[in-house]
């Protein structure tokens, strides 16, 4: 009798768990996301703020040695980035952003629109305002957001193991304090320094070539023996000679 009760309880618990799983996987995502909810399927040729929001999320999928322009215009490069994102997550890779793609993005983003594994605080250990750099606070913060989505893409490509950020946005004061270059991309909020472990600095520098950074500095470049630096420099600068990155 007791055993039978336990068995029934176990069955009930499993049923409840199954119900929960069903609820989670089939819950309508529309209007459900705390950050941003897409209201239409997006494909090549479309324009708008929703396209721009999509571009931010797939900025880490531009392909080797490329940068995705975030302009609200769904062109061939955006389509290719969506395809790479879909492939990375095992979705049907048709380059059209529909419910499956949006659901994956909803699962990847926090309510403040940062990807789940990175945060504004992590990208700014200089101040809390994002002010005092080479661009407005809003621009610096936005650049950091795009960088976080690039980092999330790289993190996934590297087996979903952590990536350690050691320094990112710096005001002029913070940059001077650490002896940064007067023209450092850290002043723009679009540079991130990555520390060793679990990935080697070379592994990070090499993988970064696929995720939308025009500036990669690592082992072999002066002053970069203890971190790999990635940024969105207007001028392409890849230099990590000890890693075969140039
Ligand atoms: Zn740096």
156 CA distance to ligand 1 middle (Å): 22
Q: What is the mean pLDDT of residues 126-140?
A: 97
172 among known catalytic residues? no
- What are the residues whose beta carbons fall under 8 Å from the beta carbon of 103, sequence distance 6 or more? 29
168 alpha carbon, distance to own chain's centre: 14
Query: What is the rounded distance in angstroms from the CA atom of residue 212 to the CA atom of residue 198?
Result: 22
Maximum Cα–Cα distance across the chain: 78
State the CB neighbour count (10 A cutoff) for residue 73: 16
Say which residue, 224 or 18, is predicted with more confidence: 224
How much distance in Å is there from the Cα of 152 to the middle of ligand 1? 18
Selecting among 186, 199, 211, 224, the annotated active-site residue is 224
Q: Which residues pair with 97 in a beta bridge?
A: 42
* pLDDT per residue as tens digits for the range 6-61: 444 444 444 444 444 433 444 444 556 889 999 999 999 999 999 999 999 999 99
Residue 184: the pLDDT is: 96
How much is the mean pLDDT over the chain?
Answer: 90
Packing angle of the helix pair 76-88, 49-57 (nearest 10 deg): 50
For residue 241, the CA-to-ligand 1 centroid distance in Å is: 16
Q: Cα angle vertex 98, ends 146, 109, to 5°?
A: 35
pLDDT reading at 109 higher than 90? yes
Question: How many Å lie between the centroid of ligand 1 and the Cα of residue 88?
Answer: 28
Q: State mean pLDDT over 135-142.
A: 98
DSSP state of 42: B
Beta bridge partners of 228: 194
Sign of CA dihedral 26, 153, 212, 86: negative
Give me the residues paired with residue 47 across strands: 73
pLDDT beyond 80 at 2 = no
CA of 223 to the centre of ligand 1 (A): 9
242 burial level (CB within 10 Å; 0-12, 13-18, 19+): middle
Token look-up 């203890």 returns 226
Single pTM value for the model: 0.87
Q: Are strands 215-217 and 164-167 parallel, antiparallel or unpaired?
A: unpaired
């Amino acid at each position: 009798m007791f055993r039978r009760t336990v068995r029934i309880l176990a069955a009930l618990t499993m049923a409840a768990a199954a119900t929960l799983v069903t609820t989670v996987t089939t819950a309508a995502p529309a209007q459900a996301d705390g950050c941003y909810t897409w209201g239409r399927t997006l494909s090549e040729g479309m324009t708008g703020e929703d396209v721009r929001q999509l571009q931010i999320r797939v900025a880490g999928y531009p392909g080797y040695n490329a940068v995705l322009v975030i302009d609200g215009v769904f062109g061939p490069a955006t389509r290719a980035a969506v395809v790479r994102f879909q492939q990375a997550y095992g979705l049907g890779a048709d380059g059209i952003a529909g419910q499956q793609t949006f659901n994956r993005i909803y699962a990847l983003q926090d309510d403040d629109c940062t990807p789940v594994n990175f945060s504004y605080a992590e990208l700014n250990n200089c101040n809390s305002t994002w002010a005092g750099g080479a661009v407005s606070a809003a621009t610096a913060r936005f650049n950091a957001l795009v960088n976080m989505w690039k980092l999330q893409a790289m993190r996934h490509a590297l087996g979903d193991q952590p990536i350690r950020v050691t320094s990112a946005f710096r005001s002029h004061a913070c940059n001077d304090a650490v002896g940064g270059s007067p023209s450092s991309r850290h002043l723009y909020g679009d540079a991130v320094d990555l520390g060793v472990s679990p990935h080697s600095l070379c592994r990070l520098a090499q993988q970064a070539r696929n995720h939308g950074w025009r500036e990669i500095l690592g082992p072999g470049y002066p002053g970069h023996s203890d971190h790999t630096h990635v940024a969105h420099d207007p001028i392409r600068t890849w230099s990590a000679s000890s890693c075969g990155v140039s």
